[in-house]
Amino acid sequence: MIQSKYLADSPWTGKTFQRIIFSITLLGFGVLFYPWTQNIESTGAVTTLRPNERPQAIQTLIAGKITKWYVKDGDYVKEGDTIAVLSEIKSEYLDPGLLGQTSTQIEAKENSILSYSSKVDAINKQIIQLEKNRDFSIQKAKVKLDQEAIKYRSELAELQAAQINLKIAKQQFDRDSLLGLKQIKSPLDIENRRVKYQESLAKLAIQQAKTDLAKNNIENARIELQNIAVEYGEKLAKTEGDRYSAISAQMDTESEVSKLRNQYSNYLIRNGFYIIRAPQEGLVSQTLSNGVGIAVKEGQSICTIVPSNVNLAVELYVKPMDMPLVEIGSPVRFVFDGWPTMVFSGWPEFSYGTYPGEIYAIDNALQPNGTYRILVKMDPKDKPWPQQLKIGVGARGYMLLKRVPVWYELWRQLNGFPPDFYHNNRLDPTKKLDKSNKEDKSE
C-alpha cells in the first residue's frame, strides 16, 4: 500500500502518463489526416462471364421413357458423350417401320408426279396437233371458199351470156313475126324463131338456177370456215382444261410429297432425340433420381452439367444511390466465403486475404430486390483468384473510389452523404497511393 502510494506520487510516473496521453492524442489527430479510400460495399456470388460456362440443365426435347442411364452424379463427361437413352411413348411414333413406310409413300407420290408430268406432255402434244389440224382445216376451207367464188363468177358470166342470147332471140322472133305479117318470112321460119326464143328462155332459167346454187355454195363454204374455228376452239378449250387439271393434280401431289418429306425429316430428327448427349464437357450433377422406366415430358430436366473450364466472375448488387459512382473498369476488392481475411475497407493496402477484380459490365435494369447488378471479372495482371472457387460461392466486394482524409470520411458518414463522384481512370489505390494523392489534390 505504501509502495503504490509512492509510485502514484512519483513525478516520473506523472510525466510518463502525460507523454502517453499526448502521444495518443497526437497520433489520433494525425490519423484524421491520413488518406482513406472511399468504397462501396456490396454482396454477391461467384458466377461466370459467359452463359455457356454456367451450369446447364440437360432437358429432353421429346416426351419419352428413360430406358438406360450412362452417367451418375459426379461423372466427368466430354462433349457428345451419351447421358441417357429414351424410348417412344406417343402412339403416332410407336411403329418401328415408320421411316420405311413414309419413304415408300414418298416414292409412290413421286411416281404419280412423273405420270402427271407425262400426261401434261401428252396433252401438250395433243394441243399442238389440234392447232395444226385447225390451221389445215381452215386453209382447206378457205381454198374451197375461193373455188366456190370462182365458180360463182363463171356461172354469173354464163348467166349474163344467156340473158344476151335471150334478148337476141326475142329480137329475132319479133322481127320475123313482123316480116311474117308482111308475108316476107314463111310461117316455118317464124316457128323456128319461136323455138329458139323458148330455148334461150329455158337456158336463162337453168343458168339462173346454177348461179343461185353457186352463190349458196359460197355461203356454205363461209359457214363451214366459221364452224371449223368454233369446233376446234371447243376442242382446244377442253384439252386446255384437261392440261390444267393435270397440272393442278401434279402440283397437289408435289405438295403432298413435300409434306411427306418434311414428316420423314422430322421422324429422322426425332430418332436422334432418343439419345441424350452432353452438349459440353463438365461434371454431372442433380440427375433424375427416379431411375429407369419413368416417363419424362418435353423440356423436362434430367440432370445438370457443370462446365469444368470456365472464366469466373462475380455478380454484385449495388444500391441505386451508389449506381452513379460505378463505371466499367473500376477496381474492386473481394472477400470470398471460406477464405481467411482481415479487411480494412478504407486502407485496402493493409487488408489481408482480399482478391482484386475489375468491373466488366453494368446492368441498366433494376432488379426485383431494388438493386442494380454488376459483373466483375478477374484482373489478369494482378493476383489470381483461388482455384478452389466454385460457382455460387458468396462474395463481398469493395468498389474502391476516391482517396480522402479520415476526418472528411467521418464527417461524410456522420451526415449520411454519399461518396464523392469522380472519374477514377481505372486506378487501383492499393498500388499507386502516391499518384492517387496527387490526383486528389489536383482535383
Contact 396, 376 (CB under 8 A): no
Confidence of residue 5 (pLDDT cuts 50, 70, 90): very low
pLDDT digits (tens, 9 = 90+) for 192-208: 777 887 887 888 888 88
Copy the grid coordinates of residue 345.
Answer: 475497407
pLDDT at 225 over 80: yes
Mean per-residue pLDDT for 139-159? 86
Calculate the alpha carbon distances from 155 to 199, 237, 422, 429 in Å. 18, 41, 122, 129
Calculate the alpha carbon distances from 211 to 164, 199, 201, 205, 300 in Å. 16, 18, 15, 10, 100
Query: Can you give the pLDDT at residue 433?
Result: 39
Strand 282-285's sheet: what is its strand order? 56-59, 301-307, 282-285, 76-77
- Angle between helix axes 98-181 and 187-272 (nearest 10 degrees) is 170
pLDDT digits (tens, 9 = 90+) for 230-250: 888 888 889 889 889 989 988
Longest dimension (CA), the chain: 220
Handedness of CA 133, 134, 138, 139 (dihedral sign): negative
Distance between CA atoms of residues 41 and 63, nearest Å: 48
Percent of the chain exceeding pLDDT 70 equals 78
DSSP state of 400: E
DSSP state of 97: T
Query: Can you give the pLDDT at residue 262?
Result: 93
pLDDT digits (tens, 9 = 90+) for 50-109: 888 888 899 998 898 999 999 988 889 998 999 999 988 888 888 888 888 888 999 998
pLDDT digits (tens, 9 = 90+) for 308-364: 788 888 999 888 877 777 788 888 888 888 776 665 555 565 556 678 888 888 888
Mean per-residue pLDDT for 403-430? 58
Query: Can you give the pLDDT at residue 258?
Result: 92
pLDDT at 41 over 70: yes
DSSP 415-427: HTPPPPP---TT-
Query: Can you give the pLDDT at residue 82?
Result: 92
Calculate the average pLDDT of the chain: 79
Confidence of residue 384 (pLDDT cuts 50, 70, 90): confident
> Would you give the distance in Å from CA 48 to the centre of its chain?
30
Query: Can you give the pLDDT at residue 342?
Result: 61
Within 8 A by CB and 6+ apart from 359, the residues are 326, 327, 328, 329, 330, 332, 374, 375, 376, 399
3-state SS track over 380-411: CCCCCCCCCCCCCCEEEEEEEEEEEEHHHHHH
Query: Can you give the pLDDT at residue 28?
Result: 64
Mean per-residue pLDDT for 153-159? 85
Contact 77, 235 (CB under 8 A): no
Grid cell 381452215 — which residue? 138
* Higher-confidence position of 88 and 24: 88
Query: Can you give the pLDDT at residue 190?
Result: 73
Distance between CA atoms of residues 289 and 278, nearest Å: 18
Query: Can you give the pLDDT at residue 77?
Result: 92
Where is mean pLDDT largest: 25-34, 265-274, 328-337, 417-426? 265-274
Confidence of residue 401 (pLDDT cuts 50, 70, 90): low
- For the chain, the helix, strand and coil percentages under 3-state DSSP, each to the nearest 5: 50, 20, 25
**Burial (CB count <10 Å: 0-12, 13-18, 19+), residue 234:** exposed
pTM: predicted TM-score of the whole model, two decimal places: 0.57
Copy the grid coordinates of residue 19.
Answer: 507523454
Mean per-residue pLDDT for 381-403? 80
pLDDT at 132 over 80: yes
- One-letter amino acid of 428: D
